[in-house]
Structure 1
């Protein structure tokens, strides 16, 4: 990513203008921040593709509270720990009742008895994000913030897994990314069971078809939108026998839906989950059967060195991971880095995620800063923007530009990162060419707008 290494030239006057803006903002109060609460200061550059985002965190929690929880037949309860759970049901209350819930309450009826509905809605919102006034106090360490982070998905489950909400949630998420100048997404999808009011539970095949249909319909009304692909993912807290079943599911789905299912990944906190080596027998199943199942492993999402966890990077490279999620610890392993570079395996850098989840406090010290300067292949993505109080991709592009890129990063840096997102996607070569043409047209308009200056 170093200047002069494959980056296309931009007019000198445009680079100087962007550089002056960056220098001014870099001296402002609160930079570099530890919270993504500010809006990106620059016009939205065409970011290309978001290659590392998770299914249940692509849509703003505001939409969920104001839309999903106001739908008919939405029940909720608070667990003994004060965490809400949701479930849609009709004509009876949800069954069975979770052990941790004293009773299900119809939200519509409950709100009618409140004096301050806004305050109640805000309390729901606080359960769907990591946003807090004083994160250093609220989340004293990684254990504390990961506990809250994983609880968010527990809360989301009953809402997003209701079939009508699921469809609209996905469509709204695509809208938010599209408005953020993102034209293509590769989504880590758990394919969590989706249900109807009458208790019907849909299959994983139904889920994949629904993703496909929603994206297809979205593209009809959104010019330039390229589409989505899914990276089927399972949680690394599960035992190997369950992961073997998921590997088989991934292979089956790839055969039935080759146009949308891109491969397989393992998600969840690396420091407390099973390693790739622990799953070695399961992960070797496709190769032993002569089946090509692309992997997109989270690896090296840790600030420790010399543990079994950061050795996930070595196994990810040995298993020919198409991309590496985060790769935060990669710079600590020169031999692995060299081999990954030789294989042209990019890392998916998620700046805000790494900052919020306490891997790095100052993004100028992010390991990706050294790797970007050296020219190592990387893409920028947003991981779980909804949980972090962000939207789309521009927040992370802004942080990468201002912090990781240093003072020397300019328009060429933004351009190369966007190009990388298309180059390292799983689109076919024909679709990559088409996507690049669409992106290039938008990029030229963006640069022309910068040259004109504010109106």
Structure 2
């Protein structure tokens, strides 16, 4: 246990640790003072030192209560897996796999507090996987031009469990004419996925799928066929604990499962009314989760255009930006009228890292073009996709340098916000992306998991003030850490590397940004309420907002933070007199 530092003594400076080690220690009293000074010198280097030393009385009281809230959750929601005699209790502990614990997490007082916390800016969220899966599935219910297909006939429980599903909005002609390798079209009849003779991957009208849905399992409640179909599809969209953490699972294996979900989601997202409804609902969900500002990552590809609801028309990347802008402005006006606050949202142009050089060059040019047309909306450029399977940043250096030259000539500010270091393969070309990101002057990096093994790169990030968009739950589920206690975030924070907390692909994980903040605090004894505050402040400081926007959003966040701390004190003051059960671990 740490000794308490006596604040009446002169405050040490970080260099004092050398004096402490070189001093003669001849008594227990001298030794205890040396320990206190050594620990105080380390604390002075901590990422939350300034926040902690300048904390108000209310913040300190709220922080102490938050510690009690964690203990209360242990006694009332969690427990030890075995009793004093070694018998299994069937209880779960804090910090087990997120996917296995999320039902308990949602019942905790700490999660209630995390939801209430003003989080500042959300800087790393993929636009096609923000809301719960049921939202887009429900949107598709009455779309006549929606089609569905399966990789297996849905005739046995095994096929229901292992099949892969995809969706697409299209015309009847498109559904029955498939382009071949020579770009010629072959007519194919529609299929019925519930027919034993179904030919895999033939399209079926989604309305017909709902009407004929016949699942062999039991959902435990009375549902219509359509509701049963939607419930099953929602289940198919979510990654399970066994898929993520099964004893035979590998990093590449879970990514393959993840990519299937993104493909399944793609068709549900790719028509105009769903995209507009989703944009409005997502902004409102940010507000509900106490997020004051967001930077979203849609995918921009020539093959990724939106369809009109009848499947006959197509909306390109400029049209997508136009829709986002229209829905953002109208939703913010609606929020203002009802007295809710949202400081705004910007778009990071993303394109796949699996692209060829000419495709990335074209994407960079389009990014510049869209920046001219949507100067206040578009804010950066990124490459997305599995880092270990795609091209490294170095592959596109000529294109990136040319892009930076064009931006300078045209007086445009479009920083790189690269995904990189999302790997355990330290020392090869994949984590070499960290070095490229530094040399290409990235403003932030996504994930940066490998950086904890690169002390020099950590020093550069601190000196150049490059922030890491950390995604704790995503990193756990995609195989970078076995659980939250093994995450690299405490290492980065101990080295005072600026970090932000993000949800990445919340749809597939049954999570929200509140869940990621929850995981952060139960994953490390050194994290507390004031650590949360520093992470939120960093998110605002490292956003792409202009100075006026940043000042306005930060002022609103600070007001909400003060009210949040007061709410903790008012809501949980009774815990000041509560003591946990003896023997709690």
Do the two structures share a fold, i.e. TM-score over 0.5?
A: yes
* Contact kept? 2:501, 2:516, Cα under 8 Å: yes
Structure 1: stretches of 5+ with no match in the other structure: none
* Contact kept? 2:123, 2:469, Cα under 8 Å: yes
Q: CA deviation at 1:13?
A: 2.2
Q: CA deviation at 1:31?
A: 1.9
1:94-126 Cα shifts (integer Å, max 9, x gaps): 354488854322222332234563443233113
Q: Which residue of 1 aligns with 2:519?
A: 399
Q: Which residue of 2 aligns with 1:385?
A: 506
Compute the TM-score of the two structures, normalised by the length of structure 1.
0.93
Count of residues paired in the alignment: 452
Find the aligned partners of 1:238 and 1:89 in 2 and give their Cα distance. Answer: 25
Residue 14 of structure 1 pairs with residue 134 of structure 2: no
Residue 221 of structure 1 pairs with residue 221 of structure 2: no
* Contact kept? 2:122, 2:295, Cα under 8 Å: yes
The equivalences for 1:254-293 within 5 A come to 254-289=371-406, 290-291=408-409, 292-293=413-414
Find the aligned partners of 2:200 and 2:540 in 1 and give their Cα distance. Answer: 46
**Greater share of residues in helix:** 2
Q: Which residue of 2 aligns with 1:131?
A: 240
Find the aligned partners of 1:160 and 1:249 in 2 and give their Cα distance. Answer: 22
Identify if the C-alpha distance between structure 1 residues 125 and 138 changes in structure 2 by more than 3 Å, giving closer, same or farther: farther
* Contact kept? 2:473, 2:519, Cα under 8 Å: yes
1:65-86 Cα shifts (integer Å, max 9, x gaps): 2232343432212134722221
* Contact kept? 2:458, 2:497, Cα under 8 Å: no
1:11-60 Cα shifts (integer Å, max 9, x gaps): 23222111122244468333212224232623221111110001111121
Q: Which residue of 2 aligns with 1:3?
A: 48
Higher relative contact order (Cα pairs below 8 Å, separated by 6+ residues): 1
SS in 2 for 1:258: coil
Find the aligned partners of 2:200 and 2:545 in 1 and give their Cα distance. Answer: 45
1:311-362 Cα shifts (integer Å, max 9, x gaps): 1001101111010111111121111221121110010100001000010113
* Contact kept? 2:137, 2:268, Cα under 8 Å: no
Query: Which protein has the larger Cα radius of gyration, Structure 1 or Structure 2?
Result: 2
Equivalent residue in structure 2 for 1:211, among 324, 348, 367: 324
Find the aligned partners of 2:174 and 2:399 in 1 and give their Cα distance. Answer: 40
SS in 2 for 1:244: helix
SS in 1 for 2:423: coil
Identify if the C-alpha distance between structure 1 residues 250 and 93 changes in structure 2 by more than 3 Å, giving closer, same or farther: closer
Identify if the C-alpha distance between structure 1 residues 90 and 234 changes in structure 2 by more than 3 Å, giving closer, same or farther: closer
* Contact kept? 1:139, 1:145, Cα under 8 Å: no
Bigger Cα displacement from structure 2, 71-80 vs 423-432: 71-80
Identify if the C-alpha distance between structure 1 residues 287 and 343 changes in structure 2 by more than 3 Å, giving closer, same or farther: same
Residue 413 of structure 1 pairs with residue 413 of structure 2: no
* Contact kept? 2:360, 2:399, Cα under 8 Å: yes
1:233-287 Cα shifts (integer Å, max 9, x gaps): 1111111111111111111111221100101001111111111111111111123
Find the aligned partners of 1:187 and 1:138 in 2 and give their Cα distance. Answer: 34
Q: Which residue of 2 aligns with 1:160?
A: 269
Identify if the C-alpha distance between structure 1 residues 96 and 183 changes in structure 2 by more than 3 Å, giving closer, same or farther: farther
Equivalent residue in structure 1 for 2:147, among 75, 86, 102: 75
Residue 237 of structure 1 pairs with residue 350 of structure 2: no
Q: Which residue of 1 aligns with 2:315?
A: 202
Q: Which residue of 2 aligns with 1:429?
A: 547
Bigger Cα displacement from structure 2, 284-293 vs 231-240: 284-293
Residue 47 of structure 1 pairs with residue 92 of structure 2: no
* Contact kept? 1:75, 1:87, Cα under 8 Å: yes
Find the aligned partners of 1:423 and 1:30 in 2 and give their Cα distance. Answer: 35
Find the aligned partners of 1:323 and 1:139 in 2 and give their Cα distance. Answer: 34
Q: CA deviation at 1:416?
A: 1.3
Residue 144 of structure 1 pairs with residue 253 of structure 2: yes
Q: CA deviation at 1:156?
A: 1.4
* Contact kept? 1:10, 1:412, Cα under 8 Å: no
Q: Which residue of 2 aligns with 1:108?
A: 207
Q: CA deviation at 1:2?
A: 3.0
Identify if the C-alpha distance between structure 1 residues 277 and 91 changes in structure 2 by more than 3 Å, giving closer, same or farther: closer
* Contact kept? 1:59, 1:170, Cα under 8 Å: no
Find the aligned partners of 2:213 and 2:389 in 1 and give their Cα distance. Answer: 41
Bigger Cα displacement from structure 2, 364-373 vs 73-82: 73-82
Identify if the C-alpha distance between structure 1 residues 102 and 313 changes in structure 2 by more than 3 Å, giving closer, same or farther: closer
Q: Which residue of 1 aligns with 2:12?
A: none
* Contact kept? 1:244, 1:282, Cα under 8 Å: yes
Q: CA deviation at 1:139?
A: 6.8
* Contact kept? 1:97, 1:104, Cα under 8 Å: no
Find the aligned partners of 2:373 and 2:248 in 1 and give their Cα distance. Answer: 43
SS in 2 for 1:360: coil
Bigger Cα displacement from structure 2, 376-385 vs 84-93: 84-93
Identify if the C-alpha distance between structure 1 residues 135 and 315 changes in structure 2 by more than 3 Å, giving closer, same or farther: closer
Structure 2: stretches of 5+ with no match in the other structure: 1-45, 79-91, 153-161, 181-198, 216-224, 575-585
Find the aligned partners of 2:493 and 2:560 in 1 and give their Cα distance. Answer: 24
SS in 1 for 2:446: strand
Q: Which residue of 2 aligns with 1:172?
A: 281
* Contact kept? 1:254, 1:263, Cα under 8 Å: no
* Contact kept? 1:77, 1:103, Cα under 8 Å: yes
Identify if the C-alpha distance between structure 1 residues 88 and 14 changes in structure 2 by more than 3 Å, giving closer, same or farther: same
Identify if the C-alpha distance between structure 1 residues 271 and 134 changes in structure 2 by more than 3 Å, giving closer, same or farther: closer
Find the aligned partners of 1:96 and 1:26 in 2 and give their Cα distance. Answer: 58
